[in-house]
């Protein structure tokens, strides 16, 4: 499995504030990775470093390239979608297509037009005439028409209603992703991308706090509903969190043996959002 992005002791300081504090991680080809963390955790700084938009200390390579010193070469292989508001409001759809065609050597005009043909977006429409959902469709069509190896999505569906959010990710999976491409997503809407992720990276206070495949997450973390009689026994096993529901305690464990968990009570596999909340305690203080 080839490594697409590799960081070793990645650090970034803004004055006295250290945004990244020695991050180590690898992202492999053909994976869909969620980079998840609270505001101020270092997500955006990490993305900027990967995209060559900021300097950094430590080692970082993307597709074998230094993103800062070899950014021009790297951008031929990487696409980026931030908040959809980045498209100029005055531009017409055909002008946006003309622009991307002129600046990116791997852009396919015909492929972009095929994507847009499934929408209600006309070539002469201006961005300001489009709903936010339609702008997201346009932005995605422009990016999916580029034969890039890495796609970075930073809160790509921010502010969209649930129908457009689901359509966005479904289109991404059906019409763009294959096992030669790698997608890195940051979002606060964790529940909506959980089903498409192959890997997760949690970042907290500038450090990677969880780096695992979804299979490993499923094996590691367990939620157990425990009756009052077994509460002390469960608490002694050092759970990540405890919450009360209908007079029973629900504990979230990391690494507890399946037999031990089942002996305590009813078990279930927690979602990524549950694990995120449990591991980020104190990050919002």
Q: Is 134 helix (H, G, I), strand (E, B) or coil?
A: helix
Same domain, 171 and 238: no
Shared-domain flag, residues 196 and 231:
no
Q: Of 178, 205, 232, at which residue does a domain stop?
A: 205
DSSP secondary-structure letter at 218? Answer: H
- Predicted structure pTM score: 0.89
- Whether residue 108 is found in the same domain as residue 201: yes
pLDDT of 203 above 70: yes
Pair (222, 181) in one structural domain: no
Coil vs helix vs strand at 211: strand
Is 76 inside a domain boundary? Answer: yes
Looking at every residue in the chain, the average pLDDT score rounds to: 91
Q: Is residue 211 part of a domain?
A: no
pLDDT at 59: 96
* Candidate from 1-5, 31-35, 198-202 with smallest mean pLDDT: 1-5
What mean pLDDT is predicted for residues 133-147?
Answer: 89
Same domain for 185 and 270, yes or no, is no
Domain count of the chain? Answer: 2
Measured in whole angstroms, the distance separating CA 176 from the mean position of its chain's CA atoms is: 16
Domain range for 34 is: 3-205
Whether residues 120 and 183 share a domain: the answer is yes
CATH at residue 186: 3.40.50.300
> Is residue 187 domain-shared with residue 141, that is, in the same domain?
yes
Read off the pLDDT band of 1 (50, 70, 90).
low
Q: Strand 221-226 relative to strand 265-268: parallel, antiparallel, unpaired?
A: antiparallel
**Do 107 and 188 sit in the same domain of this protein?**
yes
The pLDDT value given to residue 13: 94
pLDDT at 99: 94
Parallel, antiparallel or unpaired: strands 221-226 and 248-254: antiparallel
Would you say residue 55 lies in a domain? yes
Asked if residue 186 belongs to a domain, the reply is yes
Q: What are phi and psi of 131, to 5 degrees?
A: -70, 165
Positive or negative: CA dihedral 99, 104, 107, 112: negative
Q: Which two tokens stand for residue 210?
A: 């969880």
Same domain, 195 and 229: no
What is the arithmetic mean of pLDDT over 175-179? 84
Residue 285 belongs to a domain: no
Whether pLDDT at 85 is above 70: no
**Same domain flag for 67 and 166:** yes
Whether residue 86 has pLDDT greater than 80: no
Final residue in a domain of this structure, among 205, 240, 271: 205
In a domain, 86, yes or no: yes
pLDDT of residue 81: 84
Position of tokens 């450090």? 207
Residues 6+ apart with CB under 8 A from 259: none
Q: Which two tokens stand for residue 276?
A: 């995120």
Residues 190 and 223 in one domain: no
Domain co-membership, 233 together with 151? no
212 is a domain residue? no
Residue 284 has pLDDT above 50, yes or no: no
Tell me whether residue 272 is in a domain: yes
CA-to-CA distance for 79 and 93, rounded, in angstroms? 19
* Domain end among 142, 177, 205: 205
């Amino acid at each position: 499995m080839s490594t697409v992005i590799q960081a070793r002791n990645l650090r970034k300081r803004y004055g006295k504030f250290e945004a990244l504090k020695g991050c180590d991680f690898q992202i492999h080809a053909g994976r869909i990775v969620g980079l998840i963390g609270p505001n101020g955790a270092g997500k955006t700084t990490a993305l900027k470093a990967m995209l060559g938009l900021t300097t950094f200390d430590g080692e970082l390579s993307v597709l074998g390239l230094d993103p800062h010193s070899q950014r021009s070469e790297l951008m031929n292989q990487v696409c980026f979608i931030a908040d959809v508001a980045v498209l100029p409001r005055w531009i017409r759809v055909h002008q946006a297509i003309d622009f991307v065609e002129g600046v990116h050597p791997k852009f396919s005009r015909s492929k972009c037009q095929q994507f847009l043909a499934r929408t209600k977006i006309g070539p002469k429409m201006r961005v300001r005439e489009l709903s936010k959902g339609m702008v997201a469709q346009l932005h995605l069509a422009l990016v999916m028409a580029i034969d890039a190896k890495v796609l970075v999505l930073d809160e790509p569906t921010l502010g969209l209603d649930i129908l457009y959010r689901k359509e966005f990710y479904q289109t991404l999976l059906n019409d763009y992703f294959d096992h030669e491409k790698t997608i890195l997503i940051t979002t606060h809407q964790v529940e909506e991308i959980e089903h498409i992720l192959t890997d997760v990276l949690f970042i907290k206070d500038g450090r990677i706090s969880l780096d695992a495949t979804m299979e490993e997450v499923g094996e590691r973390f367990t939620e157990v509903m425990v009756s009052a009689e077994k509460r002390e026994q469960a608490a002694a096993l050092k759970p990540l969190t405890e919450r009360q529901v209908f007079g029973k305690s629900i504990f979230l464990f990391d690494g507890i043996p399946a037999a031990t968990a089942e002996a305590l009570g009813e078990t279930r596999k927690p979602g990524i959002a549950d694990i995120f909340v449990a591991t980020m305690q104190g990050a919002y203080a």
